[in-house]
Amino acid sequence: MIVIPAVDLREGACVQLVGGSYANEQVRLENPLEVARGWVRAGFSRLHVVDLDAATGRGNNAAIARDILSEVPANIQVGGGVRSGDTIEKLLEEGATWIVLGTRALEEPEWLAGTASSFPGQLIVAADVRERQIVTRGWARTLSRTILDAIEKLNDIPLGGVLVTAVHREGQLAGTDLFLMEDVAELSVHPVIASGGISSVADLRELADRGIAAAVVGMALYTGALDARAVAEEFAA
């Protein structure tokens, strides 16, 4: 299992939110490009860059994401407001390794299937989950189906992975939702990336033991609850 630092972009800064709430921002760093470079210097080879403003219709941080893609030597997965094949193609041309799709991919399965056939293995579907229900549109809408229902349907699509975020644990340093991630890993044919609440090396080891391919970590790295260099060394591959 590998660990992937999160670089969440909001209003030109790198931020961390608690519980998926825009009103509860706990970390704000004004130079996202330097933050991304710092994670690479610490030993990480892959980054998770998300434009929170684009995801919620509050604007975008496209220029910053582009700078990170062009100037940071890492495999980067990029998401946030990606809703068209043209945008996917542009991000890949700018240097993204994978594109992370959320709302439209989950709300329009036919669009996802067609798009994935054009970009096989390059798309990661990100499902934000609150108590096993999928939430979309910046956590404002709750879908009727559960995450396990969605995983069954995603198994037939040529994806590069599935990212599951336990929004009810996000940013709280209270530990991952291990039972949720275990169930998803058992059902999914795609590599599963876990996110939300990861706060210790023990959390990471438990996820690895259950077949999770990667973990996106934010708050624990930004607050120093996890030692970045030690984590990068243990979870480099």
Alpha-carbon distance of 177 to 162, in angstroms, equals 16
Q: Strands 21-29, 13-18: parallel, antiparallel or unpaired by DSSP?
A: antiparallel
Any residues with CB less than 8 A from the CB of 227 and at least 6 apart, and which? none
The residue whose two tokens read 């340093």 is 173
The residue whose two tokens read 């991952």 is 176
Residues in the chain: 237
**Packed helices 147-154 and 178-187: angle between N→C axes, nearest 10 degrees:** 30
Catalytically active residues are 8, 128
3-state DSSP assignment of residue 237: coil
Dihedral angle sign, alpha carbons of residues 67, 128, 142, 111:
positive
Identify the bridge partners of residue 4 per DSSP, sorted by sequence position: 216
